Amino acid sequence: MNLHRSPSQLRAIASTVAVALTLVLAAGAGCDSRKEPKLPSVKDKLAESHIYRQSTLRIGVARNEPLMGELQNGQHVGFDVEIARYIAGFLGYAGDQQLEFVPVATEERIPALQGGTVDLVVSSFSMTEERGKQVSFAGPYFVTEQEVMVTTRLKGKITTIEDLRNDDYKICTSGGSTSEAELKTHDVKALVVKTVGDCVAGILAGRYDAVSSDETILAGFRARYPKDFEIVDLPFGTSELLAVGVPLGDPALRDLVAYALDKSYREGQSGQASAWQIAYNRNLAPWLPVKEGQPRRQPQPLQVPKLVDFDDKTPPR
C-alpha cells in the first residue's frame, strides 16, 4: 500500500470527506425536522391559564338540586360537586381551603363565567351550539335526557307531549335552560322560574302541576319526595350532554379540564375505580333507570388535548 499521497490527492480526499460530512449533517437535520413537536405538559397549560398562581379555585354549582348539587348542613354534596372536587384536585386545589363553591342558578351560569365570578361551572350545564358562542365547554361528562315530573295525583293523566299542551295543566321549568327551549319547540307553554327547586316547591304548594328538566335533576327531587312525584318518560328526542363551563377566553383551562375528565374516562375503560364511577354510584345510580340493560358509564370527552402529565402539576403559589 502506498502511504505517500501527492498534494493533489490529499486535497481530493479532504474534499470528499467534507462533502460526505455535509451530507450526513443534512440528513440528520432532515430527520430532526420530521420529528413531532414536543408535547406541552399539564404544568405548561397551567402557566397559560388564568388560574396560574391563584390561591383559590372558584367553581359554580347548584345549591338546590338533590343528587347533583345541594347544600346540606353547610356542605356542598352531589354528583356535580364530586366531579368538581375531582377536577379541582387535578388542577392542584386539594381540600376545601383552596376551593370555593359559588351557588349559581341556571340562568346565572353564563354571566358568572363571563363576569369572572367563577373560574368553572359544574352544574347540570348542557353543551349547546348557542351557548358555545358565549362560554367554552369541556366534556361531556354525562349524557342525560329531558323528562317530566308530575304529582302522583296526575299519574296516568299526563302521558304525552300533547297532554302538556292542555291548558288545564300548568307546566313549570327553569329559566335559561335547554328544557325551556325544548318545550317551546313543542309548543308547550311553560311558566318560567329561577330554578327547578322553585318549580317543585310550586307544585307542592298547588301552583303548578308538572315540571320539565333533565332526568338527573328530576331524579334528585323524586328521591327527596318519593311519595309525591312520578317521572314520565316523554319522547322529546334530544339527549343532553352535560359539560363543565369554562370562560371563553381561556383555552388552556378548557384543555386542562378536558384532559382531567379524559383521565377519569381512561381509568374507567381500563377497569379501574374512576372518580366518575365512584361519584355516579354514590349519588345517581340508585335513582336512574338502567338504559338498555347496561350500567351507565362515563362518556368519552371531546377535543381532548395530548399533554404530558406530571405528578408535580401544581406550580408554586
Q: What is the pLDDT of residues 23-77, one digit of tens each?
A: 444 445 454 555 667 889 999 999 999 999 999 999 999 999 999 999 999 999 9
> Among 46-50, 110-114, 289-293, which stretch is predicted with the lowest mean pLDDT?
289-293
User: Does residue 200 register a pLDDT over 90?
Assistant: yes
The answer to whether the beta carbons of residues 314 and 46 sit under 8 Å apart is: yes
Indicate if 145-232 has the same CATH topology as 42-144+240-283.
yes
The class that CATH gives domain 145-232 is alpha beta
| pLDDT tens digits, 3-19 | 444 444 434 444 443 43
Q: What is the pTM of this model?
A: 0.81
> Per-domain residue ranges for the chain?
42-144+240-283, 145-232
Residue 289: per-residue pLDDT: 77
Question: Do the bridges between strand 57-61 and strand 120-121 make them parallel or antiparallel, or are there none, so unpaired?
Answer: parallel
Strand, coil or helix: 213: strand
Residue 315's Cβ-count burial label (10 Å; 0-12, 13-18, 19+) is: exposed
- Average pLDDT (252-272) is 97
pLDDT tier for residue 210 given thresholds of 50, 70 and 90: very high
Is the bond into 286 cis (omega within 30 degrees of 0)? no
- Average pLDDT (276-303) is 90
Question: Regarding the domain with residue range 42-144+240-283, which homologous superfamily does it belong to in the CATH classification?
Answer: Periplasmic binding protein-like II (3.40.190.10)
Residue 260: per-residue pLDDT: 98
pLDDT tier for residue 295 given thresholds of 50, 70 and 90: confident
> What distance in Å separates the CA atoms of residue 109 and residue 175, rounded to the nearest whole number?
11
DSSP code string of 1-26: ------HHHHHHHHHHHHHHHHHHHH
pLDDT tier for residue 310 given thresholds of 50, 70 and 90: low
User: Does residue 313 register a pLDDT over 50?
Assistant: no
DSSP code string of 142-157: EEEEEEEEEEGGGTTT
